Amino acid sequence: MKFATINNSKPDGQLVLVSKDLTDYVDISDLAGTLQEALDLWPAIQDKLLLRYEALNALELTGINKVCKTQLMAPLPRSWQWLDGSLFLNHGVLMQQAFHLDPIEDADIYPLVYQGAGDSFLSANDKIAAPSNEVGLDFEGEFGVMVGDIPMGSSPEFALEKIRLIVMLNDISYRALGPREMKTGFGFVQAKGPTSFAPFAITPDELGENWRNGRISLPLEVYRNDKWFGAPDGTEMFFGFHELIAHVAKTRPIKAGTVFGSGTVSNADISKGQACISELRAKEMIATGKPQTDFLQSGETVHMRVLDSQGKSIFGDIKQEAIMENTHV
């Protein structure tokens, strides 16, 4: 199944069910008015949603409308909890080499994760508003999942069955502000802007064989100012999403609607490029001793997408422009 949220001037929008080819949608407010409500009610409404989805794709329903992507919000406009991992170890290795850092102890045993701000997710076409060019504005192409209720102490196998939806996202970072916050050991606050999401959230079965062992085995294409920047594949994720979820659930329950991120998609093969500017700068530092590529400047654009075997967008595209904005209210 595929879902989207229409902007109806309310904070959580209106949930709709979207056809497999992403062209049509139908209102499902009789089952769930928002995606958070659907995730809360999932066991009770899943079968009804699937029947409605099959009927939508067969054009057997009344009230079918055409998708207008400019009307779409993030699939889940706000979440009780947003937990972002760093599951591609290659990214960390490059940072350690570039900045001459000691390896993080047990990084191959315990997945790295921090709690970010889930109160205001951006849509796929919202502008990226940074306070100034000096903050080191960066994009990060990632995959993510949304889950159902998961009790404390759940196993990775149990967690895998509770992954309800898969998403693609752009995790905004302010690289110049990160080092000070990392030294505190308390995680990121100022160094992270609102996260942007592609417009469509899909159930794992929509990926077919490209969903394996809690990983999305597809390349995430990234373009900067319409120029190819990278297409790293999700297959190299060291920990699967189910292992990240079980790690977090070791000491607390996870509530339906929690969103987990993969961290920057990163591959060892340099021909795959990269999904964030910081990683390219790290490669330049390793090769030449200094970075050569600037962070995102006002007026620049970033475009992300994941294509299926027929060349069609799976999650819809993220297309955003960077602007510098500081209102000083």
pLDDT in tens, 228-242: 999 999 999 999 999
Secondary structure letter of residue 185 according to DSSP: T
Cα–Cα nearest to 235, from 221, 216, 250: 216
299 and 220 within one domain: yes
**pLDDT value at residue 166:** 98
Q: What is the DSSP letter of 206?
A: G
User: What pLDDT does residue 179 have?
Assistant: 77
**In this structure, are 29 and 172 located in the same domain?**
no
Q: Do 27 and 163 sit in the same domain of this protein?
A: no
Predicted confidence at residue 100, as pLDDT, reads 76
Residues 130 and 39 in one domain: no
Residues 105, 243 share a domain = yes
Q: Using alpha carbons, list the distances in angstroms from residue 280 to 132, 140, 159, 173, 230.
A: 21, 12, 33, 15, 10
In a domain, 77, yes or no: no
CA distance 27 to 254: 28
91 within some domain? yes
Cα maximum dimension of the chain: 62
54 and 177, same domain (yes or no): no
- 271 and 157 in a single domain? The answer is yes
Give a yes or no: residue 329 inside a domain.
no
- Boundary residue ending a domain (71, 101, 125): 71
Tokens of 117: 């701000």
- Name the domain boundary from 71, 94, 129: 71
76 falls within a domain = no
**23 and 62, same domain (yes or no):** yes
Q: Domain of 28?
A: 2-71
CATH assignment at residue 190: 3.90.850.10
Is residue 150 in a domain? Answer: yes
Cite the beta strand spans of 240-279 per DSSP E. Answer: 259-261
Specify the pLDDT at position 298.
94
Report the domain count for the chain: 2
The tokens for 122 are 């951006």
173-187 pLDDT per residue, tens: 999 888 787 778 787
- Per the domain annotation, does 165 fall within a domain? yes
Residues lower than pLDDT 70 in the chain: 327-329
Tokens of residue 36, six digits: 């958070």
> Can you give the pLDDT at residue 95?
87
pLDDT score, position 25: 98
182 and 112 share one domain: yes
Long-range (24+ apart) CB contacts under 8 A made by 246-250 are: 246/154, 246/155, 246/156, 246/158, 246/159, 247/110, 247/111, 247/113, 248/83, 248/113, 249/150, 249/151, 249/152, 249/153, 249/154, 249/159, 250/152, 250/153
What 3-state DSSP class applies to 247? helix
In a domain, 101, yes or no: yes
Residue in this structure with the two tokens 């700068």, named with its chain if needed: 281
Position 95 in a domain: yes
Rg of the chain taking only CA atoms, in angstroms: 19
Looking at residue 82, its pLDDT comes to 98
Task: Looking at the structure, tell me whether residues 317 and 221 fall in a common domain.
Answer: yes
Are residues 199 and 62 both part of a single domain?
Answer: no
Tell me which of 21, 39, 71 is where a domain ends: 71
Tokens of 165: 């939806």
Same domain, 88 and 65: no
